[in-house]
Structure 1
């Protein structure tokens, strides 16, 4: 039996999300927590305009979730601590006959940092897969959905600092990782990028998730985060990754066309250099839900690029600054279930 992860542009059955709960990620004050709840709800409500959404909520947050979410959104109860569904949930795949599978990676809080609370959410791969009626595909690889991006035709993008992170997989090498990705998601060809964005290596980062820097728009075409200001350290990162992509081919032997997705103008926030990226968007049935950063010109420019990259889809912007302040973006908090 061969499992394959479809491209994110393939038809979805639904999107899965997890509702925030109190803890270090959500925020220390009532105002910070409310901001987080509202940001997650805004994304869910936007996605629900295109396709069904199922929201997993901790028992402590079920009532709030039902209060804040569109009435069409299904809310299911399960214990959780972290609520980045892309990373804590399963990666959905299909077999040759269209049967649904759910890859249950090991999740250890992005390398088991001292601050992370992840033990409850580590079980969501199994829980969500079962709720979806999928066959569980177990894996011994410590991995997160934000650490991979596929074209649906056998090519996977990933970074050397995630799956090869000694805090995640101390005994892994490229060959072992590639073999496991071939078994679980049908990846025949891996394009290893050297790193992710600068901020992602700080205390609350993922150590270089690919889904904030590069994403397949379609086979052979990759959207690349482009930091155009040399004053930002990601200017050099963008150039390095572009060089790797332009020297790469995909599983079908095609050269990679790079589509620049320029970063917003803001360089810093109170914590340092920002990692604000339009690459971290969610493709849904008939649409794209993209991060907004309160910069009308830059947000509009990103929408225009994405309209061209995803013909026939409506592009909707949701303010993602509160999500990025907590460590990720719209792609990080959503996980698509392909139509079986």
Structure 2
């Protein structure tokens, strides 16, 4: 078997999500909880404009989910604690030698390094649930990893971050070579492009320690969309400049140097907790569309839509207010997971 993770731009069968449950992530007041439910619902409905959506719903939230979600969205009853489906769910792969074969990589999920606050034991089963629901072959892995920690071009290149896969709270006994070997086996990544770090806020207590999916993505082979903090007053101004210089020296699996396209950050620098990591990189590519993060900054949001529309020709770009997501530790890409459409012949 030669598993390969398709690019996010390849056709999707559907997108998978998980509906929120009460707990530390959702919030400790009625207002915060309602905001969380509403935002996850808004993303689900935005994605459903372009492709089918299936969502895992904990038994405790079935009534609310049925009330809030459109009948077009498929509800799958399953245990949920954390509800960042990109990270807890399966990474879907295909086998080009076996048309019609779907694989579901079951990374070890330990709540982003098993911090004391995280509740992740139910979410750790989500990959297996998705495999069963889709009829995919389970591709078991001992690598502690999350879907938000990787981006691929579908042609053998993977972006990842030294502070994620080499995090001693995740994989204390692994080095680059062992991580790369496992990514080759599970997702067909022949060339790993390592970023030295992620955005500043992502290293706070409730961060992921550097997920690549708020930093950089590959809209097409040989091109990178890179988060660009253009205000020197924000620490990510230096971070994004250093990452740009680093990526300019890298090559992909085909030996190409990358064309780097800046995706400027919104104008807001801080919230009540400190410097924000608001990023338009954290979008979801769908069939014929892109669901982008909005941040209440009309000018920057519109500029991001224009850049994304140019990067993904022929796709309609829509924005959903992602500030409640980032307040809880992620964005639109973080709460969604695409299932690729299978080919029936070569």
Scaled to the shorter chain, the TM-score interval is over 0.9
1:55 aligns to 2:55 (yes or no):
yes
Task: Please give the per-residue CA displacement for 1:165-197, whole angstroms capped at 9, x wherever unaligned.
Answer: 000000010000000000000000000001000
Out of 186, 189, 193, the residue aligned to residue 187 of structure 1 is 189
1:207 is matched with: 209
Deviation, structure 1 residue 62: 1.3
Q: What displacement does 1:244 show? A: 1.2
CA distance in 2, matches of 1:221, 1:19: 33
Instruction: Give the distance between the partners of 1:73 and 1:327, measured in 2 at CA.
Output: 25
What residue in structure 2 maps to residue 262 of structure 1? 264
C-alpha distance in 2, partners of 1:218/1:68?
A: 35
**Inter-partner Cα distance in structure 2 for 1:62 and 1:241:** 43
What's the CA shift for 1:32? 0.2
Q: Structure 1: where are the runs of 5+ without partners?
A: none
Task: Measure how far apart 1:228 and its partner are.
Answer: 0.2
TM-score when normalising by structure 1: 1.00
Residue 18 (1) aligns with residue 18 (2): yes
Q: Could you say what secondary structure the match of 2:301 adopts?
A: helix
Aligned with residue 281 of structure 1, among 280, 283, 304? 283
Secondary structure of the residue that 1:187 maps to in structure 2?
coil
Matched with 2:220 is: 218
State the match for 2:83 in structure 1.
83
Once the two structures are TM-superposed, the CA of residue 66 in structure 1 deviates from its matched residue by 1.4
Partner of 1:135: 137
**Equivalent residue number for residue 339 of structure 2:** 337
Name the SS of the counterpart of 2:164 in structure 1: coil
Partner residue, 1:43 = 43
> Aligned partners of 2:45, 2:62: CA distance in 1, in Å?
16
Residue of structure 1 in register with 2:119 after alignment: 117
Residue 63 of structure 1 and its aligned partner are, at CA, apart by 1.4
Asked whether 1:321 is paired with 2:323, we answer yes
Determine the structure 2 residue equivalent to 1:297: 299
Q: Please report how far the alpha carbon of residue 69 of structure 1 lies from its aligned counterpart in structure 2 after TM superposition.
A: 1.0
Deviation at 1:67, TM superposition (A): 1.0
Q: Secondary structure at the match of 2:125?
A: helix
| In structure 2, C-alpha distance between the alignment counterparts of 1:68 and 1:7, rounded to whole Å | 31
Q: What is the deviation of 1:290? A: 0.1
Runs of 4+ deviating beyond 6 Å: none
The match for 2:241 is 239
CA distance in 2, matches of 1:199, 1:45: 28
Cα shift at 1:132: 1.0
The 3-state SS of whatever aligns with 2:293 is strand
Q: What is the root-mean-square deviation in Å for CA atoms of aligned residues?
A: 0.5
Residue 274 of structure 2 corresponds to: 272
Distance in 2, matches of 1:311 and 1:158, equals 25
Query: Offset at 1:80?
Result: 1.2
Structure 2 residue ranges without an equivalent (≥5): none
Query: In 2, Cα distance between the equivalents of 1:329 and 1:192?
Result: 22
Q: CA deviation at 1:338?
A: 0.1
Aligned residues: 340
Task: Please give the per-residue CA displacement for 1:75-102, whole angstroms capped at 9, x wherever unaligned.
Answer: 0100110000000000000001231000
